Structure formats: structure tokens, C-alpha cells
């Protein structure tokens, strides 16, 4: 369930500035970790490196003990679901087609449409398959983006401020949805966030500052969080 992620001495430089500075970490399979820290701390940089969207300048990243290659990262990216602050949906496409978009270029061994419909239902949007993003609220658009991220059944979900563009109540619904899906599909989850309530639903909170890890707390899930996740199932 999920994948183990290991970072060994990972640095990422922009000029002489270190966006990440010699970071070594391990993330347990199936864990949910919040990445916190001020703007510029290196949260997005860390997610991009783990997701194979950027390359470290030094150090290495291992997924299930296998180092990520520096080339040919497509196969890895297909095992990662990415959710962004600004939902990045394609405005001219329907909900169904947005969810299908990541797998349209590939030959796949599953029924794309059946899976897309199942995911649309799992995120609470059954019946809205033909709507376009402009017809949906922000929270609904983020639900579509989450369904899209799951179309390859990724063992790893990366979310970069997934509630950053949403009001508090809607953000909380999205948090509960993500945590419920993590349980349901068995994913390792990393979430960059400024939202303390979101962080409190994770089982670990990492704090970054100036590209370094300055805090690493393991949390026991609160009862109300367990209740809410239970209610989703």
C-alpha cells in the first residue's frame, strides 16, 4: 500500500541559492505527511523532485529502494498523482474528459471511461460528468482535479497547497476527501500546506526553512478526523 520514498543528501540550487539543502528523509508507505514552512522554504521544490518534474543537483531520491533515473521519468510520473492549488483543468473539456486526459496518450490495460466514472463518483460528482469546469465551484473543480490525479491509480499522491484557493469549509471538505481516498486506494501522500487544520489530519508534519528540515513531528490522528474519514467510507 503506497510506496516508500527515500531522499539522500538532496540539494536543489537556483544560482547560489539553495532551494533544498542536503535533505535526507524517509517517507513510509501509506503515510500522510504535511510539508509546512514559510513561502520559499522549499516545499514545492521537494514535491517537484519527488514527482519527477525536476531533478536534484546532488543527492538521490529512491522509490521503493530504486533510485529515480535522471532521464526517462515518464514511467515514474504515471505512478504519481499531482494536485495543485490552482486546479489546472482544461476549460473546454467536460469533467469526464478532464479526468481522462492524463491517460488519453497511452495504451492502458483498464477501461478508461469506467474508471473515470468510478473516480468522479468517489469524489462526489456523479451526474456532473458532462459539465465544464466553468460551471463548477472551486471546491468541485478541485474534486475533478483529484479524480484526474487518481486515474492511473498512483501509489503516490503529491498535493501542493490543495486548499490554498478555497474557503475554510470547502478546504476542509477537500482535506477529508483526500484522506478518505488515501485510505481507500492505499497511497503515500505528501501535502504542502500553510493550513494548520490540514496538517493536523496528517500523521506527520515536516517543517522546512531555507531548504532544510527544521521540524519533524509524528501525530496521532485526532478522533474527529477518524470519524470524518469513517463517514466517507
Ligand X SMILES: Nc1ncnc2c1ncn2[C@@H]1O[C@H](COP(=O)(O)OP(=O)(O)OP(=O)(O)O)[C@@H](O)[C@H]1O
Residues at the site binding ligand X, with contacts judged by CB under 6 A: 14, 17, 19, 37, 39-45, 192
In the complex with Mg ion, which residue's Cβ is closer, 123 or 208?
Answer: 208
- Supply the minimum distance, in Å, between the C-beta of residue 85 and ligand X: 8
Minimum separation from the CB atom of position 45 to ligand X (A): 3
- Check binding of 163 to Mg ion (CB under 5 A): no
> Which one of ligand X, Mg ion, none is in contact with 157 (Cβ closer than 5 to 8 A by kind)?
none
Give the span between the Cα atoms of 175 and 102, in whole angstroms.
23
Query: Toward ligand X, which CB reaches closer, 40 or 221?
Result: 40
Q: From the CB of 53, what's the least distance to ligand X, in Å?
A: 11
Q: Nearest-5° angle of CA 146, CA 151, CA 156?
A: 70
Among 32, 36, 44, 229, binds Mg ion (CB under 5 A): 44
Distance between CA atoms of 28 and 6, rounded to whole angstroms? 9
CA angle, corner 174, sides to 54 and 84, nearest 5? 20
Q: Grid coordinates representing 71?
A: 532521464
Residue 99 in grid coordinates: 479526468
Between 150 and 190, name the residue whose CB sits nearer to ligand X: 190
Nearer to Mg ion, 43 or 115 (CB): 43
Give Cα 226 to chain centroid, integer Å. 20
Rounded-to-integer distance, Cα 191 and Cα 189, Å: 7
Amino acid at each position: 500500500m503506497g510506496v516508500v520514498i527515500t531522499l539522500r543528501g538532496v540539494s536543489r540550487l537556483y544560482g547560489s541559492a539553495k532551494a533544498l539543502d542536503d535533505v535526507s528523509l524517509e517517507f513510509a508507505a501509506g503515510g500522510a505527511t504535511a510539508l509546512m514552512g514559510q513561502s520559499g522554504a522549499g516545499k514545492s521544490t521537494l514535491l517537484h523532485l519527488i514527482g519527477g518534474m525536476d531533478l536534484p543537483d546532488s543527492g538521490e531520491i529512491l522509490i521503493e529502494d530504486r533510485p529515480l533515473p535522471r532521464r526517462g521519468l515518464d514511467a515514474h510520473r504515471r505512478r504519481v498523482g499531482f494536485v495543485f492549488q490552482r486546479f489546472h483543468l482544461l476549460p473546454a473539456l467536460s469533467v469526464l474528459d478532464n479526468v481522462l486526459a492524463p491517460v488519453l496518450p497511452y495504451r492502458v490495460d483498464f477501461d478508461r471511461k469506467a474508471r473515470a466514472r468510478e473516480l468522479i463518483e468517489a469524489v462526489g460528482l456523479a451526474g456532473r460528468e458532462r459539465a465544464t469546469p466553468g460551471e463548477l465551484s472551486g471546491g468541485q473543480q478541485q474534486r475533478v482535479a483529484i479524480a484526474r490525479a487518481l486515474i492511473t491509480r498512483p501509489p503516490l499522491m503529491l498535493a501542493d497547497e490543495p486548499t490554498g484557493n478555497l474557503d475554510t469549509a470547502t478546504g476542509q471538505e477537500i482535506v477529508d476527501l483526500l484522506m478518505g481516498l488515501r485510505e481507500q486506494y492505499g497511497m503515500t501522500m505528501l501535502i504542502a500546506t500553510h493550513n494548520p487544520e490540514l496538517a493536523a489530519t496528517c500523521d506527520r508534519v515536516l517543517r522546512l526553512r531555507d531548504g532544510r528540515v527544521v521540524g519533524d513531528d509524528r501525530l496521532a490522528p485526532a478522533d474527529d478526523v477518524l470519524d470524518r474519514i469513517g463517514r466517507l467510507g
